[in-house]
Structure 1
């Protein structure tokens, strides 16, 4: 090799080394920091005697309770983490609580919210009580919204209700019982997103969109009118080929409808979109919220407007549960079979390398991310909160090993997660309305 070629080769190698060093130095850390973790859920009993009495009576079956969802409330410099523990079987004394800074055998203690009295006599469907909190969300008006579905041993014992608490006072603001006219015989309201159209007049101009995981429909609730209606479309159904799950060596079969739901940012001049997907499916769908808020479209026929629903042509390779969208329009969601967390720029094309990326990958800590939330902390920075539940053990009827960590709540700075990924770069919209979404 002559001297000229040697110099070119040396310069090229130096460029590669320097580029690698620069990339390594500035490469963002994509860690989800564990805030709380449990081998089993513990509750805030007044004494060990009371706790043991509840265990002896079967009111508290320790080691069998599974958390499902979480959200965080920032007030000044303090934060409060809420968690749901649905009553999927007997022996769950508390179904909605606050994670305290105290522990028992290393497990964070959960205090009942708003008080113990709200969790007693759940089988009797008390007016001032919570039968079974499934999922929750905290809105920008400092309100905690709760789906109270009321199942026990997989049987609906109490009417499905929407509960709303004022987090500044911890008082109940609203109790709304869904009428039979919007529910089906097998309805199970599993998830919700809150659309605050504007914050005037005590945030009364608010709509809630709820996913019916077994009825394969949405329910829309209008706070100002205190009314609800059903919306149905075939995009809300599961896919038969995606009913078989394989997660960390556990295989089970579930044909679940809508679980993932999220809203694009509320920006002036931009129509807001609701994204959603059936858990047992490979697709992502969306609809303009202005259509959903128009009750007259669906009054006589919940299936009246198939043309308003859109489905991306590209699909996931595995099922997905919960999802959330940040104020920049970036979606975050779990890939159940892959045991990863992905992001998607909603201005781009779904499952395209130019707008989708993997941002977290841990086969141990990321098993079954059932709770996914975006929150803004006291410094104005966005955070991604994720609760992982290892729910595959529930689906297969396998007991949890209480000597292992089974449940985690994790958090990460959104900017660190997506910095340098394709999710940060807007691409032309890939909006489609594929009429044959069940076809390859």
Structure 2
């Protein structure tokens, strides 16, 4: 069986659609920073900077900046939240955000420097109000000697002013000892863009839950469902020549456009799963929603198929397309939500076993470009990275180019109307 899996994955790599890939926008063998003065030497001498221990996991674009998150998996990460300018060189050193003074802390720190300090973040989200939302786990050296430097928190930045709008520290009511906060996506009430009427949906991969944060009420609550847990049958991975077993729960989520009832669908999935789920934000925004409604509120959208475990997803509202990583295939898949969720309608749009080895994050920006971060995470956590090779890459291309000629290409108005009618008929039969 193992030999068959290797053969299948090899065939996948040999049938790449590399013609769609453009040269990486950014790439690094190891991550370096735009240091101030003698800070680099001080950091290396104190163990505050260990290049081989740094691996980026998340990205988000805002105007001329690309934000890059680096969790403190191991010792020696000087800054977790960083950015580069889009017009920079291909191996541009990272700039800590919002400043070195806020971002730089040592692993043995007792407290954070300011409310703007992000200790350890995996991913982030840029909302319609030019705000950057980051979920800080607050811990250092996650792989061995875990140290809690700060309470886990939602940190919201005003990108136009490079200042903190809000830092909300989470409590034991919404967290568990095993909590690992990975992704955040932001929702607004109705079709408006009232910056105060925002909800953040945060995935807790470690304790299999969603955490909902109301910006208006400055309050958070926990949502649990059995579908947020990993699937034991989807826990086997083989990436970059590394075999490992993963039991990660719900790790990423993306929002659809506003539906006729004024709410959106939250599309979500555990990393160790090959199924796609969704849940109405009507339930999520209701802090005291009955347990029975929550239990029945998560729907199975469909099955993505073998080797389709996904670490991240994002939604393109212009084309109604959900993009998701496929770490075992070193690829990005997609699904046009106007169509049934079937293997034929969830094709791979880009695949490359070198450039996309372990695609960890994917984002769609406001201009309709898809951004992909690959980081060889399997080698980093279960083997070792070769500092003589390029290990981390950021690639980007227009969504319309990537989905052209595929099942994810936007349907005609007639096709969408027919699909909606068929869906209503099927729902009526089910009742």
Partner Cα distance (2:22, 2:224) in 1: 36
Partner Cα distance (1:334, 1:199) in 2: 28
Which structure: larger Rg? 1
1:203 is displaced (CA, Å) by: 0.9
Where do residues 24-173 of structure 1 align in structure 2 (5 Å cutoff)?
Answer: 30-47=20-37, 49-74=38-63, 79-100=64-85, 107-121=91-105, 123-126=109-112, 127-128=114-115, 129-154=117-142, 155=146, 157=148, 158-173=150-165
In structure 2, do the counterparts of structure 1 residues 28 and 404 end up closer, same or farther at CA, with 3 Å as the change threshold?
closer
Partner Cα distance (1:191, 1:282) in 2: 18
1:283 is displaced (CA, Å) by: 0.5
Aligned to 1:415, which of 361, 376, 400?
400
Residues 340, 358 of structure 1: 8 Å contact kept: yes
Give TM-score scaled by structure 2 length. Answer: 0.85
Residues 88, 151 of structure 1: 8 Å contact kept: no
1:6 maps to none
1:335 maps to 326
Residue ranges of structure 1 left out of the alignment (5+ in a row): 1-26, 434-440
RMSD, aligned α-carbons: 2.4
Partner Cα distance (1:182, 1:271) in 2: 23
Aligned to 1:182, which of 153, 174, 179?
174
Indicate yes or no: 2:230 matched with 1:238: yes
1:375 maps to 365
Aligned to 2:348, which of 350, 358, 361?
358
1:197 is displaced (CA, Å) by: 2.1
Residues 67, 83 of structure 2: 8 Å contact kept: yes
Give TM-score scaled by structure 1 length. Answer: 0.83
Partner Cα distance (1:102, 1:420) in 2: 33
Partner Cα distance (2:191, 2:264) in 1: 16
In structure 2, do the counterparts of structure 1 residues 52 and 245 end up closer, same or farther at CA, with 3 Å as the change threshold?
same
Residues 240, 379 of structure 2: 8 Å contact kept: no
Aligned to 1:389, which of 372, 375, 378?
375
Q: Size of the alignment, in residue pairs?
A: 391
1:347-391 per-position Cα deviation (integer Å, ceiling 9, x unaligned): 2222331x22221111111112212111023xxxx0101111110
Residue ranges of structure 2 left out of the alignment (5+ in a row): 1-16
Partner Cα distance (1:67, 1:172) in 2: 23
1:310 is displaced (CA, Å) by: 0.3
* Runs of at least 4 residues off by over 6 Å: 429-433
